[in-house]
Amino acid sequence: MNTQLSIQNLTKRYKTGDGVTDISLEVRKGELVTLLGPSGCGKTTVLRSIGGFLEPDSGDILIEGRSVLKAPPEKRPTSMVFQGYNLWPHMSVYENLAFGLKIRKKKKAEIDQAVAEVLQLVRLSGAERKFPSELSGGQQQRIAVARSLLLKPAVMLLDEPFSALDAKLRHEMREELREIQANTGLTMVFVTHDQEEALSISDRIVVMNQGHIEQVASPQEIYDEPKTHFAAQFIGKMNFLKGVVAEGRVTIDQLAFPNPKKLSGSVSLAIRPEDVVLQEEEGGGLQGTIKHVMVLGHYAEVSVDVPEHGTIRSFQPRDQVKDLWPGQQVKVSFAKTLAYPAV
C-alpha cells in the first residue's frame, strides 16, 4: 500500500472530556477518505491535528513517510478548506488565489498560468477580476477549493466545506470535488456529519463515535455490513427490533434468521427499509396495520404498526403501493437482517 498519510495512536483530549483517544489510520495516495460522525465525535480534532492547528497529547502523524508533528501549519505539505470560505473580501479572485504563490516567491508568469489552470478546473474561468461579494456561495466555495489546489498539497483537508450551501448546490459541489480529485489524483481527508455526502464521494469512510473509530470501510460495505450497532444506526435509515437467539437462529416471534456472528441471548435486529417485505394478510410474517403511505419520488415509504414491536418503515416501489391504504392489515417479513448484541 502506497501510504500518503499515517496517523499513529493519536490522542488529544480537552478539559471537557471531548477529543480523541488512540486513533490510528492509514490513507493511501490518491484516496478520498471521509471522517463521519455526530458533532463532538472527534473528526475535526483529527483533521486539525493533521493540519497543525492542534497539538496532540501523544501519537504521531506522518505524511509521505515523514513526521510533521514539529512543523507549523504553513510548513506542512497540507492545505485546508474550511466551512467558511475564508476569502479576503478586499482582494479580487486573482489576488486571493495568487497570494499563497507570491509568498512562495513564484514568478508572475507562473502564477498567471497556475491561476488560469485552476479556475478552469473549478469551472470559473474568467472570474479573475471579480470580488468575493460578486460571487454566489457555491462560487466562493469553488474559489476556496481552488486556492487549496494551487498549493499542490500532499494531503488536502476539507472541514465540512459544503455545509453552508443549499441541498442542490451541495450535491453539485460533491460531484465536482469528486471529478477534481479524480483529475488531479490528490489525496483528500474530508470531514462531514452528513452520511449521504460521505456515501456519495468517499473511497473509504471512517465512522467515528465519542473519540473512537467504530469502522473503516468502503461506502458499500459500511451500508451493507455495518460492524457495530452505532454504525448501523448512524448510516442510512434502519429499523431496530428486539429478538432472541433460539436453537442457533435469531428469532423474532415466528420468524427465524441466520446467526453468523454466533450471538446468544437477547439481540437487536437491524433491517433496512428496502429489505422489509409487505404481504397480503394470509402471508407469513408479523401482523401489522399500515399507518402511513408517503410517495417520495420514485419510491414510497410505508409505515406499519406492529404490536409489541412498534413502527416498522418500509421502502416500496411507487407503482406497488397504489393498493395500500392506512388501516389496512398486512404481514411484515424481512429479506435481509443484521443482528447485534442487545443494547
Please report, for the chain, the start and end positions of each structural domain, with discontinuous segments joined by +.
3-231, 239-341
Which CATH number fits the domain 239-341, given the four candidates 3.30.450.40, 2.40.50.100, 3.40.50.300, 1.10.4030.10? 2.40.50.100
Q: Do residues 19 and 45 touch, judged by C-beta distance below 8 A?
A: yes
Does the pTM surpass 0.85? The reply is yes
| Residue among 21, 34, 19, 26 at smallest CA distance from 5 | 26
Q: What is the pLDDT of residue 141?
A: 84
Q: What is the pLDDT of residue 85?
A: 67
**Which range is most confident: 19-23, 81-85, 126-130, 159-163?**
19-23
Rounded average pLDDT over 96-122: 85
CA dist., res. 135 & res. 206, Å (int): 33
pLDDT confidence bin for 187, thresholds 50/70/90 = very high
Q: What is the pLDDT of residue 1?
A: 62
CA atoms in the 13 A half-sphere facing the CB of 308 = 6
- What are the angstrom distances between the C-alpha of 302 and each of 244, 274, 279, 315? 26, 10, 12, 6
Q: Is the pLDDT of residue 9 over 70?
A: yes
Q: What is the pLDDT of residue 170?
A: 84
Q: Do residues 81 and 32 touch, judged by C-beta distance below 8 A?
A: no
| Residue among 286, 292, 284, 281 at smallest CA distance from 271 | 286
Residue written as cell 446467526? Answer: 259
Dihedral sign (CA 254, 259, 264, 270): negative
Q: What is the pLDDT of residue 4?
A: 96
pLDDT, the chain, mean:
91
Q: Is the pLDDT of residue 46 over 70?
A: yes
Q: Is the pLDDT of residue 185 over 80?
A: yes
Q: Is the pLDDT of residue 332 over 90?
A: yes
89 CB-contact burial (10 Å; exposed 0-12 / middle 13-18 / buried 19+): exposed
CA atoms in the 13 A half-sphere facing the CB of 121 = 23
Residue written as cell 488529544? Answer: 12
CA atoms in the 13 A half-sphere facing the CB of 77 = 17
Q: What is the pLDDT of residue 40?
A: 87
Query: Hey, what's the cell of 296?
Result: 417520495
Rounded average pLDDT over 315-330: 90
Q: Is the pLDDT of residue 31 over 90?
A: yes
Rounded average pLDDT over 224-244: 94
Residue written as cell 499542490? Answer: 152
Q: Could you tell me the CATH superfamily of domain 3-231?
A: P-loop containing nucleotide triphosphate hydrolases (3.40.50.300)
Strand pairing of 329-334 and 58-63? unpaired
CA atoms in the 13 A half-sphere facing the CB of 309 = 24
> In Å, how far from its chain's centre is CA 247?
38
Q: Is the pLDDT of residue 37 over 90?
A: yes
Rounded average pLDDT over 278-290: 84
DSSP label of 273:
G
pLDDT, tens digit (0-9, with 9 covering 90-100), for 243-271: 999 988 999 998 999 999 999 999 999 99
Long-range residue pairs from 113-117, CB within 8 A, at least 24 positions apart, any chain: 114/150, 115/150
Rounded average pLDDT over 313-337: 92
